Amino acid sequence: MTSIDALILAAGKGTRMVSPRPKVLQTLLGETMLTLVTATLSSMPRIGNVLTLVGNGADQVCAEAGAAAARLGGTARCIRQERQLGTGHALMTAMPHLPGDGSVLVVNGDAPLLTTDVLNRFLDEALGADVAFLSLMLDDAASYGRVIREHGAVRAIVEAKDFDPALCGPLADAHEVNTGIYLFSLPAVRKLLPRLSCENRSGEYYITDLISLGLADGMDVRGIRAEGAGCEASALLGVNTPAELAAAEDILARRRAAELLASGVILHAPQLVRVSPLSTVEGGAELSGPCEICGDSVIRSGARILSHCVIRDAVIDTGVEIREFCHIEKAEVRRGAIIGPYARLRPQALVDEDAHVGNFVELKKTHLGRGSKANHLTYLGDAVIGEGVNFGAGTITCNYDGKNKFRTTIGDRCFIGSNAALVAPVTVGDDALVGAGSVIVEDVPAGKLALGRGRQVVKDRRR
C-alpha cells in the first residue's frame, strides 16, 4: 500500500483569535493545536510525510513543528507561504513539495480535536476520488463553509461570507458544513489549481472552490459526511476565536478524562483533571482534581497525585505519593517516594526510592538518594546526595557565586543540621554531621562533626 502524505495548513493569520501569537500555537491542555494535529497524523500508519505549511509567525510555527516531530520520533518538514492569499493558495504553495501521482490529505491546522477514527473513516471512503472532503451536520453553520447539494449530489462549497440564501437557499441544506479535511489526487489538483480565482468577498483563493471546479471537469468528487462512532461533531471543531478555543479545550479534557477512566485510572473530581493527550497515565494510577499533567509526563500505576499539582514532562513511579500543591517539571520521582505538600521539583531533579521531599523544599539538578529526607524549607541545587541523609529545616546548598554554578556532594547517612549553608563546591563524607546554623566552606571528612558558626556567648544583662 502506498502511503499518503499529509499537509497541515498552518500559515493563516488567525485574526479572529486577536492574540499576537500565531493561531496554531494556541494551546489546549498545554499542547499547541499544531502539536495535537501533528500527533494525530503521525500516529496513522497509512500517512507518510507530514508537511506543515507556515507563514504567519513562520519561524515560531516551524520551531514548534520541529519540536512536535522530535517528540513523536520524526523530523518536521515546513513549507513557507510568504503571503497568505487563502487556503487554495496554500495548497498551490505546497504543490512543488508533493511530487508523484498519489494523494494528499489536507487538514486545517486549527482542528485540534481531530481523531484517527475520523480520519481513517474518511480515508476509507475518499480513496480513489479525485477530490473529496469531509462534511458535518450542524445545527448552526456559523462561519463554516456551506455544502451545496442537488438531489443529494454535491455541487459546491460556498463560504459563509459568500453565502447568499436567496441564491443558494434552495440547494443548501443549511446544516451541512465543510470540516476543512480533504483528500486530493495530485494529478487532479495539478490540473485544477491554475483555474482557481480570488473573485469572492474575501479576495482569497479558496481551496473549497476545487469542489465545483472538479465537478465542472467531470471528475470524481465526493462529499463524505462524518457519521458513526468516533465521528462526533466535537472531533471536527475548527478553532477561530478565544471562545472556540475554550470550548475545544473543555471537550479535549473531558475526552481525555473518559479515556483514562476507561483504562482504569482513578479520578477524583474528573472534570478538574487536565491531562495532555501526549502524557501517559497508567491504569491503577490515581489523580485528584484540580491538577494538570502535561507534556511527555508518565504517571505509573499505583502512583497517587493529590489535588492542585502541576506535573510537566516528569516521570512519577509506582507507589509514589505527590501531596497537594506540588510543581514538578522535567524531574523523576522513584518508587515509594513522598513529595509535598508544597514542594517544587525543577529540571533534572531525581528523587530516589523512598525519599521524602516536604513543604517549601526546592530541588534543581539534584539527585536525592534512596530514603533521604528533606522535609522543610530547603533548597538543594546541583547536588548529589547519598542514601539515608537527613536535612534539617532551612538547609541551603549555595551553588551559585554570581557567575558559576558549583556542585555539592553529600555521602550516605549524613545529618545536616537546620539552617546549614553548604557553600559549593563542597563535599561532605559518609556519616558526617553538620551542626545547625553552620556555614560549611570546606570539605567535611567521613564520620566527622563539622561546626561552622560563632560560639554562643552568655553575659549579664545590663539593667
- Residues in contact with ligand UD1 by CB under 6 A are 9-12, 53, 55, 81, 84-87, 89-90, 108-110, 143-145, 157, 159, 177-180, 206-208, 238, 240
Nearest residue (CB) to Ca ion, 207 versus 293: 207
CA distances from 166 to 29, 144, 178 (A): 42, 18, 20
Nearest residue (CB) to ligand UD1, 179 versus 276: 179
Nearest residue (CB) to ligand UD1, 162 versus 324: 162
Nearest residue (CB) to ligand UD1, 184 versus 206: 206
Binding partner selected for residue 90 from Ca ion, ligand UD1, none, CB under the kind-specific 5 to 8 Å limit: ligand UD1
Alpha carbon 29 to its chain centroid, in Å, reads 6
Binding partner selected for residue 223 from ligand UD1, Ca ion, none, CB under the kind-specific 5 to 8 Å limit: none
Q: Report whether 137 contacts 104 (CB < 8 A).
A: no
User: Smallest distance, Å, CB 243 to Ca ion?
Assistant: 13
User: Smallest distance, Å, CB 128 to ligand UD1?
Assistant: 23
Interface with Ca ion: number of residues (CB under 5 A): 3
Instruction: Give residue for cell 499539582.
Output: 309
Query: x-or-dash pattern for Ca ion, window 58-97, by CB under 5 A?
Result: ----------------------------------------
User: Smallest distance, Å, CB 300 to Ca ion?
Assistant: 38
User: Smallest distance, Å, CB 159 to ligand UD1?
Assistant: 5
Residues near 30 by Cβ (< 8 Å), separated by ≥ 6?
274, 276, 292, 294, 295, 312
In the 8-state DSSP scheme, what is residue 336?
T
Nearest residue (CB) to ligand UD1, 238 versus 369: 238
What gap in Å lies between CA 13 and CA 27, rounded to an integer? 16
Q: Write the DSSP assignment of 46-81 as a string of letters.
A: TEEEEEEEEBTBHHHHHHHHHHHHHHTTS--EEEE-
Alpha carbon 153 to its chain centroid, in Å, reads 40
Query: x-or-dash pattern for Ca ion, window 267-286, by CB under 5 A?
Result: --------------------
Q: Identify which of 360, 309, 380, 300 has the alpha carbon closest to the alpha carbon of residue 336.
A: 300
Binding partner selected for residue 163 from ligand UD1, Ca ion, none, CB under the kind-specific 5 to 8 Å limit: none
- Chain positions 206 to 245 lying near Ca ion, rule: CB under 5 A, are 238, 240
Nearest residue (CB) to Ca ion, 223 versus 238: 238
Nearest residue (CB) to Ca ion, 135 versus 240: 240
Q: Report whether 376 contacts 400 (CB < 8 A).
A: no
Q: Report whether 103 contacts 4 (CB < 8 A).
A: yes
User: Smallest distance, Å, CB 205 to ligand UD1?
Assistant: 8
Nearest residue (CB) to ligand UD1, 110 versus 130: 110
What gap in Å lies between CA 318 and CA 338, rounded to an integer? 11
Beta bridge partners of 78: 52
Active site residues: 376
CA distances from 367 to 350, 351, 445 (A): 5, 6, 20
Q: Identify which of 29, 22, 18, 28 has the alpha carbon closest to the alpha carbon of residue 8.
A: 22
Q: Identify which of 110, 84, 91, 97 has the alpha carbon closest to the alpha carbon of residue 209.
A: 91
Binding partner selected for residue 212 from Ca ion, ligand UD1, none, CB under the kind-specific 5 to 8 Å limit: none
User: Smallest distance, Å, CB 202 to Ca ion?
Assistant: 13
Binding partner selected for residue 86 from Ca ion, ligand UD1, none, CB under the kind-specific 5 to 8 Å limit: ligand UD1
Q: Report whether 338 contacts 357 (CB < 8 A).
A: yes
User: Smallest distance, Å, CB 409 to Ca ion?
Assistant: 55
**Residue whose Cβ sits closest to Ca ion:** 238
Binding partner selected for residue 382 from Ca ion, ligand UD1, none, CB under the kind-specific 5 to 8 Å limit: none
Residues near 163 by Cβ (< 8 Å), separated by ≥ 6?
146, 172
User: Smallest distance, Å, CB 240 to Ca ion?
Assistant: 5
Binding partner selected for residue 381 from Ca ion, ligand UD1, none, CB under the kind-specific 5 to 8 Å limit: none
Query: x-or-dash pattern for Ca ion, window 99-128, by CB under 5 A?
Result: -----------x------------------
Q: Write the DSSP assignment of 362-398 as a string of letters.
A: EEEEEEE-TT-EEEEEEEEEEEEE-SS-EE-TT-EEE
**Residue whose Cβ sits closest to ligand UD1:** 145
In the 8-state DSSP scheme, what is residue 400?
B
Q: Report whether 6 contacts 49 (CB < 8 A).
A: yes
Q: Report whether 352 contacts 370 (CB < 8 A).
A: yes
Binding site for Ca ion (CB under 5 A): 110, 238, 240
